[in-house]
Chain A
Amino acid sequence: MVKGQIETENRVQVQYRLERNKKDMRHQFISFLLMIFLTLVAFMAVGFGNFSAKFVIPFILVLASVQVGFQLYYFMHMSNKGHEVPALFMYSAVLVALVMIIAFITIIWI
């Protein structure tokens, strides 16, 4: 299939592919900058200002999950076609893990 496509690729398709790559590159570059910015924010939250731990820890966790999203969708191409099954399994796992975490911080007594 793939081989055949490359052989028969005409100029229009080449152009389309180049433009798409350019767009991908732009997205990757922007998300890379955003990730550096978020990392700096995380450092600043700890290093500057006297924020309490109760704010800083959840705040950094939120930033981390945003970064995981960037990583998955812009660098590991999860937004592209053919990634529906892995996405389903990852979100199921997140759901199961969240339920467990909520249970363990609310209903376990000593």
Chain B
Amino acid sequence: MSSYAQKRGFLATLWDYLTTVDHKKIAVLYLVAGGFFFVLGGIEAILIRVQLAVPNNDFLSADMFNQVMTMHGTTMIFFAAMPLLFALMNAVLPLQIGARDVAFPFVNALGFWMFFFGGIFLNLSWFLGGAPDAGWTSYASLSLASEGKRIDFYTLGIQISGFGTLMAGINFLVTIINMRTTGMTFMRMPMFTWTTFVASALILFAFPPLTISIFFLIFDRLFGSQFFNVEMGGNTIIWEHLFWIFGHPEVYILVLPAFGIFSEVISIFSRKRLFGYASMVFATVLIGFLGFMVWAHHMFTTGLGPIANAIFAVATMAIAVPTGIKIFNWLLTMWGGSIKLTTPMLYALGFIPSFVIGGVTGIMNAASMADYQYHDTYFVVGHFHYTILGGVVFAILAGLHLYWPKMFGTMLNETLGKITFWLFFIGFHLTFFVQHFLGLMGMPRRTYTFLEGQGLETGNMVSSIGAAFMAVGAIVLVINIIITSVKNQKVGNDPWEDGRTLEWSVSSPPPHYNFKQLPLVRGIDAYWIEKMEGRKEMTPAEPLGDIHMPNSSFIPFMISFGLFVAAFGAMYRPDYSWGLPVLVGGLVITFGSMLIRSLKDDHGHYIKKEELMDDSDKGVQA
């Protein structure tokens, strides 16, 4: 990437990325933007741990703590974890199924810019009167009572980025259903593709409830409706239900692709076919289905009644079964394999016990009568950090190391990678293991300080030290990325030497049309089959011919920018007269851009057969 950038000058490269519809460049955009928000969320986490390191600390005021805590959760879930997973999906998924791009490249770009402007909008709150302060769940009675514009930044920012996520999900679904190459049947798809497929289906079903609940909150706060206002006949519990009908599938949207990445990693570095492939697929789909039947376990103490609590408790515990299937399949993949302890494999090995701890505490939380004790304590904080950090963030880091050569054509340094892993792994357990016990001792979640002499000092201090370890680990990762980018040693198609699936059969990074000729797939782990039979390349499934590619477009940026402007208008409309014109103006930009897109014919371009014959596979201009 970088050598290419130097040749073209900074502005040309910037324009290239602002208008790109290429899934590989959109992956880089997601990675950069998601990485930026990940750093922001990480800084907020450090601020939280500094404040809570010692009792009666006044590093942050109570009000500031609420903002930092809310923004940490919101940023990490919506603007760090999801886009980083989308980065890996965009980079790898079309390659894994043997496609030249996603089904709707334009929509793919639109999805990214929506997410990006939503995230920028949310974070501008820091400079415009304070950040959201009602927790990432933003429960309605609390968020309606919050003064100023804080919650409006939350609702409008999440709404815009939520549209983008929904588009990305639909795009991946259509891509996987329609764009698989010859021979790539559903039951031959790599696990990462399968988990992305199920996660995208969850996005399709889970994001509309979020959109609706956030529209309710926007209307309640900005346009005088009373959906959640109990005094006016509204019902505040509706928010909780709608939010968790979204929110619980959301955690599976995050963790299923993480499972997929680990399935790839464990299979590659055990140099064995994934054990129990069919049962893995079954377990993934089952988790997806059950994920929609359990949301009320977040609301056991709301007063749903014993019958509802029991039903949701049992349904929640049922999820342990498919998850257990997956854990055992990973263990049995490693059993008897010839294991290579690379950085991604270390993350996978660290993930299994960490995630099992997170799962077991999940079952503890699922026991509804015991949950009255755990509810809103640090036990819950410990639990979900074990699943999201020990599952999703580990997977993102493993995936980054694994696919870095495929995205940028150069390998991250293994030694520094392993140092990052150990710092992160030790820091993670130091930070969060002790939080379970803090919770059992009665430390409430989201509290901004605690008193001396209640037995909470040691635990909180250990937790803060662990956070410092993770911060150092993240810094080592950044240094690693810088060193690797400066050195920029190019690698070949299959830098890990044990690649099994189609993405390792093309150059690193792939040419922008991905496959000169779409490959023929003859079984699970298609590239591995060819390698075992002594071939170096995939058998083509089509003759060499002209390739149809989409044109770049600036319109996705403009559509998203219009909504960004409109959000400011909507937010300031009750207070300033310029609000309404800005709201209308923003919507005019959005719908005007959509109109231009509809009226202007854009048939894309062809890469001629002759050009393809001139190029050798390596060093093709992207």
Contact = CB atoms under 8 A, between A and B. Distances in A.
B604 to A, nearest CB: 23
B201 A108 contact: no
Contact of A99 (B235, B293, B303): B293
Interface string B223-255: 000000010000101100100010000000000
Nearest to A100: B245
Given A108-B238, A109-B303, A92 B205 contact: yes
B205 A96 contact: yes
Interface string A67-86: 00000000000000000010
B296 A108 contact: no
B305 interface: yes
Interface in B168-202: 177, 201
A107 B245 CA distance: 14
Nearest to B177: A85
Contact of A110 (B177, B230, B296): B230
Given A106-B308, A107-B304, A107-B305, A92 B201 contact: yes
Contacts of A103: 241, 296, 308
B233 to A, nearest CB: 8
A108 B235 CA distance: 8
Interface of B: 177, 201, 204-205, 209, 230, 235, 237-238, 241, 245, 289, 292-293, 296, 303-305, 308
A104 interface: yes
A46 interface: no
A103 to B, nearest CB: 7
* Majority-rule SS of B interface residues: helix
B229 to A, nearest CB: 11
A48 interface: no
Contacts of B304: 107
Contacts of A100: 209, 245
Contacts of A108: 235, 237-238, 241
A56 interface: no
A89 interface: yes
Nearest to B291: A96
A33 interface: no
Given A89-B201, A92-B205, A96-B205, A109 B296 contact: no
B235 to A, nearest CB: 5
Given A96-B292, A99-B293, A107 B205 contact: no
A36 interface: no
Interface hub of B205, B230, B296 (most chain A Cβ within 10 A): B205
Interface of A: 85, 89, 92-93, 95-96, 99-100, 103-104, 106-110
Contact of B296 (A85, A93, A107): A107
Given A99-B292, A99-B293, A109 B237 contact: yes
A95 B205 CA distance: 11
Contacts, number: 33
Contacts of A95: 292
A103 B305 CA distance: 12
A1 to B, nearest CB: 12
A41 to B, nearest CB: 33
27 contacts: A85-B177, A89-B201, A89-B204, A92-B201, A92-B289, A93-B205, A95-B292, A96-B205, A96-B292, A99-B292, A99-B293, A100-B245, A103-B241, A103-B296, A103-B308, A104-B238, A104-B241, A106-B308, A107-B296, A107-B304, A107-B308, A108-B235, A108-B237, A108-B238, A109-B237, A109-B303, A110-B230
B432 to A, nearest CB: 32
A89 B209 CA distance: 17
A71 to B, nearest CB: 22
A104 B213 CA distance: 14
Given A92-B205, A108-B238, A109-B303, 5 more contacts: A99-B292, A99-B293, A100-B209, A107-B296, A108-B237
B235 A110 contact: yes
A52 B436 CA distance: 56
A92 B296 CA distance: 19
A108 B293 CA distance: 16
A11 to B, nearest CB: 32
A99 to B, nearest CB: 6
Contacts of B238: 104, 108
Nearest to B289: A92
B246 to A, nearest CB: 11
A98 to B, nearest CB: 11
Contacts of A109: 237, 303
B315 to A, nearest CB: 10
B242 to A, nearest CB: 9
A103 B315 CA distance: 14
B222 to A, nearest CB: 24
Interface hub of A92, A93, A96, A110 (most chain B Cβ within 10 A): A96
Contacts of A85: 177
A9 to B, nearest CB: 24
Contacts of B308: 103, 106-107
A85 B235 CA distance: 37
Nearest to B295: A103
Contacts of B209: 100
A106 B305 CA distance: 10
